[in-house]
Chain A
């Protein structure tokens, strides 16, 4: 429903069959890459399967809204659910506290059945002879349920259970007080040395999450070249190990040229934006405006081992919270223009939007 098909070549291998790898939470991707889940099913589909192992994911924060935290939390939770070691660095005094706010995976069975039942009943009442098709439907549903091992849906209102947090796999660092990046670099290096890349089986997978990397409370936040060389070395280290680094940063605190450099270094680049609360014009233009909490922009999709760019049908997606619990991403839908409002025919919605803010594309 919400997802754009990224790329289909007639020669692509069907990986669904080769899906079950030895460790949960890993999936084969094209060109010899492996995917781990972002923790958001929709985002995985948009990115063509998830985050590639060895890639550096960067999220450009919105200065006013904490939407990047949604992505960060789901990324971290997904890793913990799969029992993957985690390194979390944050500019707060006590980063371990943040673990208490991580969302818990939703129980899929309940949710699914409660979803399906009314539909099924209605369908049966209309045409019972189509029952066999429902059988097929269910079957595909089940196979999807199996896939859910790769990616869970997270209930944002339920905190992650203690059993996932008590593990010894979690390493937390506060980057607030460190005067330079040497310690962080060393911690990342020792963390990543657990997951050396070798051709053959992957024994475990690590996740690095760095929150608000160049936030002003960090002492190194004005040392742009030091930060750049840290990002470069992080990228190099991650590339040669079975891990994904997820870094969020506020781009407006960097100089424009430095910000561009960061964007070039990212393998996958996302940006989040809040949407203004009572924007009447936007509300008229977009359907489901009330449910949106923000916009997600996919600026770059990792292309490891390939030269072909991933062209998405839509790069701007709305972030919605389904039942205030589950995060979903949807393409923007333009609302039908209200004929009764008497607005002139010439001023179509897309025109006024694109002139208003360049970030929306239809």
Chain B
């Protein structure tokens, strides 16, 4: 952790407070491992033992993340008990099951819950909160395709970012929008994002040694200059190897 991988280097400052991070991936290459990495990073950084993560899961149940994070060396159950990890399972308790609330897909209620959780936190925890959403495309499905609802939700989350200095990390699949004429959702999200991480397969196809490449666009707040880094990765159970193209022997 301390020496930092290429990804940590590209993400910049040790904690992401006040930043919006957008992960984009496609069917061939999943960027979920970056999400796990950031989750682990925000929970296990030694100088910030007061870090809190609020995780909104549309894609997988808790057991999935728990097992993965345990491999990475982070026990989510313990963190949950210590009130440092809040997990919202929106996978099973499907919002459209309730007949009356069909119009908003349960997103308003979900935001209410997130806000309540955050405002109930003790003061010393309030400045390093990470809100993570996995993933936005399923949130869109929950909202029955209403882009505006999702965007409203994200804007509200963004106000949390500025109010409390939280960071917001969200995953979306950009190949969904690749042949839409005006993909307003993904464009707005990219506009919101301070750090954009895109996972793509190699042009030559997937190999067992190289699982894909990451492009990290870090538009620092204080610097006007964008930092662009590009490297390849190989995902393993307990770590991810990052390397520059061609640098592996």
Contacts and interface: CB of A to CB of B under 8 A. Distances in A.
A233 interface: yes
B61 A261 contact: no
Given A239-B61, A264-B173, A264-B176, A305 B67 contact: yes
B207 A311 contact: yes
B34 to A, nearest CB: 10
A83 to B, nearest CB: 27
A282 interface: no
A257 B208 contact: no
A32 interface: yes
Interface residues of A, number: 34
Interface string A222-233: 001110110011
A63 B140 CA distance: 28
Given A32-B67, A239-B91, A257-B179, A309 B30 contact: yes
A232 B94 contact: yes
A195 B142 CA distance: 25
A226, A263, A311 interface centre (most CB from chain B within 10 Å): A311
Given A229-B142, A233-B94, A239-B92, A305 B176 contact: no
B208 A232 contact: no
Given A239-B61, A264-B173, A307-B36, A299 B27 contact: yes
A265 B142 CA distance: 13
Contacts of A9: 237
A181 B235 CA distance: 38
A311 B176 contact: no
Interface in B94-131: 94, 96-97
Contacts of B178: 257, 260
A9, A299, A308 interface centre (most CB from chain B within 10 Å): A308
A154 B126 CA distance: 60
Contacts of A307: 30, 32-33, 36, 68, 235, 237
Contacts of B96: 229, 233
Interface in A280-310: 299-300, 304-309
A225 B211 contact: no
Chain B: number of interface residues, binned into ranges: 35 or more
23 contacts: A31-B67, A224-B145, A228-B145, A229-B144, A237-B92, A257-B176, A257-B179, A257-B180, A260-B173, A264-B176, A299-B27, A305-B63, A305-B67, A306-B67, A306-B71, A307-B30, A308-B237, A309-B30, A309-B206, A309-B235, A311-B206, A311-B208, A313-B208
A135 interface: no
A336 interface: no
A-B complex: 10 closest residue pairs judged by Cβ atoms? A225-B145, A305-B67, A307-B33, A260-B176, A236-B91, A228-B141, A311-B208, A233-B94, A225-B144, A263-B27
A94 interface: no
Nearest to A303: B30
A225 B33 CA distance: 28
A361 interface: yes
A232 B139 CA distance: 10
B141 A229 contact: yes
A240 interface: yes
A311 B27 contact: no
Contacts of A226: 144
Contacts of A256: 179
B141 A311 contact: no
Contacts of A270: none
A269 interface: yes
